[in-house]
Structures are given as C-alpha cells and as structure tokens.
Amino acid sequence: MHALPREGELLDGRYLVWRYLREGTMGAVAHAVRLAGKRPVAVKFLLAAHLASDEARARFQREARAAAAIESDHVVKVLDAGETARGVPYIVMDYVDGRDMAELLARDGAPGIGVARAADLIVQSLAGLGAAHAAGVIHRDVKLSNCIVARGEGGRERVTIVDFGISKWRAAAEATLTRSLVQLGTPSYMAPEQSRSARDADARSDLFSAGVMLYRLLTGGFPAEIGRASGAAAARELAVERPEIPAGLAAAVGRALAWDPSDRFATAREMADAIAPYAG
C-alpha cells in the first residue's frame, strides 16, 4: 500500500484520509472526510500491484462511471473520481456506516437469521440490482460482503450495494476488458453461465447470486450442490434445515438457483415480488 495516501494525509486538498477499512483484489477502501461540509466519504484506491495495467485502470475508471449511472437508494453513490499526485486512481463515494451482510450473518446467525429479516434484506438488495440492470449494469460479484447494512429512518435496516469493480456495462466496450479475465466473480456465488465465461453473465446471473445470498442468510451455509438440479436441491435442503421456512419462499430460492437462466426469475422486480410477502 506504499503508493496509497497514508492515514491522516490530505488527498488533493479536499479529502482527509482517516483510516483504511478493507482491501480487496483490486482496490483498498478508506474512510475519509470531505473538508467542504465535513461530509464523511469512502475513497477507493486502485492497488499498487495494478497501476501498471492499462486494463485494470480502465476497469477502475469504468466502475466509477457505471455506479454513477445507477439511481437507487440501495446502490452506493459516486461523488467524485480522480488520480493522486502519485498516479493512483481513486473513486469517492458516500460513506455507509454499517456492517456487510457477511459480518451480520456471522454475528447474528444461529446458524441463519430470521426469515422475515432475511427476506427484507434481499428484497432491498433486489431493488438496487433492478436499478443497476435498468441502467445497463450487471454487477457480476453479488455476495454478502458487497452488501452493507446500516440503520435508516426509524431504525429499519437499509441495504446498500457496493463494489462494481467487475461489472458489465452496456455503455462500455466489454471485449477489451475481459480478454485476460475469462472468469470474473466469486465462485461460490457464481451462476453456471458466468463460471464458464464472464461475458455470458446477464441480469439473471446476478439474480442467481442473490438466491445464494438468501440461502446463506437463511442457513448460514452454501447450497450443497450447484449443478443441473441446483434449484430443486436447494429448495429441498431449506425444507430440511429450517422446516419453518414457508414453502413459497423455499420455492423462490429454488427458482433463483435454477441451472438454466430461462428457468429463473426474468427480472429483479419479479424475484422481489416473490420474496416480499415473507418480509413481514
């Protein structure tokens, strides 16, 4: 991280870097404050290991543009983008003060969380995904750790989707950015078609990943089989592991996890409508 601004350093005379929150494959995210208005923000920096890669730089810049094109209260808002004096690209986003769903599950799961709570969190996630898809953006890395849960008005939990670093955007040239990265995403959440080629991912691939998220929130684990019978198998597993789960909700998970994309929900809204009755 030697090329990145240090904690306590002023970035471009506008953002004071407080502390680093997490580091991923491509970038590191810091909690900072925008001096104008004392607004807390999150700043994502491209890691030093990727600075020499034109492809990584292009993908990082496209992440900012893709996320900025999405209008949703459930998708992180991009406020600014630039490059440090050391040549490190950065993206400035709203700071979401909360835990990601993986942390929430680890803290509250026994082994899963409550049915109504899990359904509500996924319905909100689907609202964000639906807005992304409407803007022509496929996330391609939908997972618990990329969904931040904070307290909103009245104390209700509010979901914000983050990290569009490997997203697919119809307004950008995809072929030039995937020539060396045939498989993109997190394998344990990945739809079968996406595991074969990132270019094959579409909105239904994100919905498959959302189905894995819901399964995880309900059980604490992953579906035992991601294969040709994955959807039906997952629905049966849910009925065994948590008999109190309504049959309709188990069926919705099974449909989301269908091997063939044409057997899944067609849109995020359709999937959300199937899950919403169980959200309490």
Catalytic residues: 141
Question: Concatenated DSSP letters for 39-53?
Answer: EEEEEEEE-GGGTT-
The Cα–Cα gap between 113 and 138 comes to 27
C-alpha separations of 175 from 16, 77, 110, 182, 199 in Å: 37, 26, 43, 10, 8
Alpha-carbon dihedral of residues 222, 97, 61, 81, nearest 10 degrees? Answer: 180
Q: How many residues are listed for the chain in this entry? A: 280
Phi, psi of 29, deg, nearest 5: -115, 130
Please state, in angstroms and rounded to a whole number, the distance separating the CA atoms of residues 32 and 51: 22
**Which residue type does 84 have?**
T
